Amino acid sequence: MDFELTEEQQDIKNAAKEFAEGEFDLEYARKCDEEHIYPRELVRKAAKEGFVAIQFPEEYGGQGVGMLDKCLVGEQFAIVDSTLTLPTLASDFGSEQIWLFGTDEQKEKYLPKIAAGESISCGMYTEPDAGSDAASYKTTAEKDGDDYVINGTKTFITNALQADVGAIAVITDEEAPKFSNMSVIWIDDLQEHEGIKISDLGRKMGINSTSTCEIAFDNCRVPQSNLVGEEGMGFLQMMQFFDTTRVPVGAMSVGMAQGAYEKALAYSKERKVFGMPVAKFEVTMFKLAEIATKIEAARNLVYKAAWKIDNGTPDAALSSMAKWYGAKVGVDVCDEAIQIHGGYGYMADYDVERWYRNAKIQEIYEGTKEIEKYTIAREIIGRIK
Ligand SMILES: Cc1cc2nc3c(=O)[nH]c(=O)nc-3n(C[C@H](O)[C@H](O)[C@H](O)COP(=O)(O)OP(=O)(O)OC[C@H]3O[C@@H](n4cnc5c(N)ncnc54)[C@H](O)[C@@H]3O)c2cc1C
């Protein structure tokens, strides 16, 4: 048992902190939030420094490190700014399908560009009538000549306005039973692809520096060589994909919680009410103690889940715990940080309301908190005869 980060992990953590403190400009973050700007240049810079797709092997442009390292980066970025973290950390979203299940040829072709920040990726799973119930997707891919022909609609797709490439989950065998009828296909040239229409879904609560879009596929042709993994194994691949990607989501939440907590702590020491700092009221002391404890607990869950992945023993329940509890702590702490700031917390100038708006989505995407609890409960209870 060793709770210390390795020297390399500590270096990555320090480098991520230094990068975020140097490059995440507060005014720019507020502008991205208000004007829905995708920070394209920042993504390039983060990639140049090796923070994008850090988990990919070095031969494919990554740093050859693990998910724990990705979590450290996500956490450090989110402590500094909750708006600028997601676009930088998730510019590789979806490409984990290739990293985990792709051929060497696919890895060589796509991963280095994504890791270099030259190419943005997205993951196209959710459909208008099927989010949590992923086995009910209806988008199909039929074989025709050397191609798949894709028809259907995906929705809520992060990065879609900027994405060059992405992974889509589709039904490839309508006759096959549920769970073995689905495949994952890689799509190139998303913005110029014939048969693809991308529409921005408009205003949303937070994460406004990323686009959230509907993507309609109308006889969209993709070469059959773009199949990722095995035909019919798409559902299983998707579940394994989420077991991996959910953990950095938990890490981002821990970072947001830590950032909001630090703001609340500083404010509570400065703000005087009834002649004394807010931090001196026992109620505030207890709040701060609870917040610090929850963050520490969530952080340890995230690190352990990531460590299990890196050691070849991924644990679906633990990954779900890390994401569910991390996201819950993120939302709870941001809420309490607003409260500790009083009326000022509700106003944009103090940023904690922005933190709160950014934290909330973490309880919804990549599996809602209810679905995370199902995953945990299934592992705990097992099959009942
Ligand atoms: C900003 C944003 C970005 C997103 N980015 C992406 C992306 O990049 N790619 C992508 O594919 N998707 C993305 N999503 C979609 C997201 O993953 C889904 O919204 C989420 O999985 C929930 O699906 P749904 O919205 O259809 O809700 P539903 O599945 O309709 O669920 C509605 C409610 O019912 C609950 N519920 C569902 N099933 C059960 C059950 N069995 N028992 C108890 N409660 C249940 C849910 O937890 C939820 O509270 C994004 C969503 C948003 C809002």
Spans of all domains in the chain = 7-115, 121-232, 235-381
Atom of ligand 1 nearest to the CA of 133: 29
CATH superfamily of 7-115: Acyl-CoA dehydrogenase/oxidase, N-terminal domain (1.10.540.10)
Task: Find out whether 354 and 82 touch, Cβ atoms under 8 Å.
Answer: yes
235-381 carries CATH number 1.20.140.10: yes
Give the separation between CA 328 and CA 257, rounded to whole angstroms. 10
Q: Is the CB of 156 under 6 A from ligand 1?
A: yes
To test ligand 1's pocket by mutation, which of 97, 125, 132 has the most ligand atoms within 8 angstroms of CB? Answer: 132
Give the separation between CA 218 and CA 348, rounded to whole angstroms. 42
Instruction: State the pLDDT confidence band at 93, using cuts at 50, 70 and 90.
Output: very high
Instruction: State the pLDDT confidence band at 94, using cuts at 50, 70 and 90.
Output: very high
Contacts with 298 (C-beta within 8 Å, 6 or more apart), sequence order: 250, 253, 254, 257, 322, 325, 326, 328, 329, 330
- What the block records as the tokens of 337 is 């940080």
Q: Is 229 helix (H, G, I), strand (E, B) or coil?
A: coil
Residue 304: closest CA among 142, 68, 96? 68
ipTM attached to this prediction: 0.99
- Kindly report the average pLDDT of the chain as a whole number: 97
Q: Which CATH number fits domain 121-232: 3.30.450.20, 3.40.50.2300, 2.30.29.30, 2.40.110.10?
A: 2.40.110.10
Atom of ligand 1 nearest to the CA of 367: 21
Catalytic residue chosen out of the listed positions 27, 366, 370, 372 = 366
**Continuous segment of H or E residues that includes residue 25:** none
Q: What is the pLDDT of residues 241-279, one digit of tens each?
A: 999 999 999 999 999 999 999 999 999 999 999 999 999
pLDDT at 309 over 90: yes
Mean pLDDT of all residues in 343-368? 98
Contacts with 232 (C-beta within 8 Å, 6 or more apart), sequence order: 172, 173, 176, 180, 181, 182, 183
**Continuous segment of H or E residues that includes residue 32:** helix 26-35
pLDDT exceeding 70 applies to what percent of the chain? Answer: 100
pLDDT of residue 177: 94
**Between the CA of residue 64 and those of 9, 108, 343, what are the distances in Å?**
12, 15, 46
Q: Is 49 a catalytic residue?
A: no
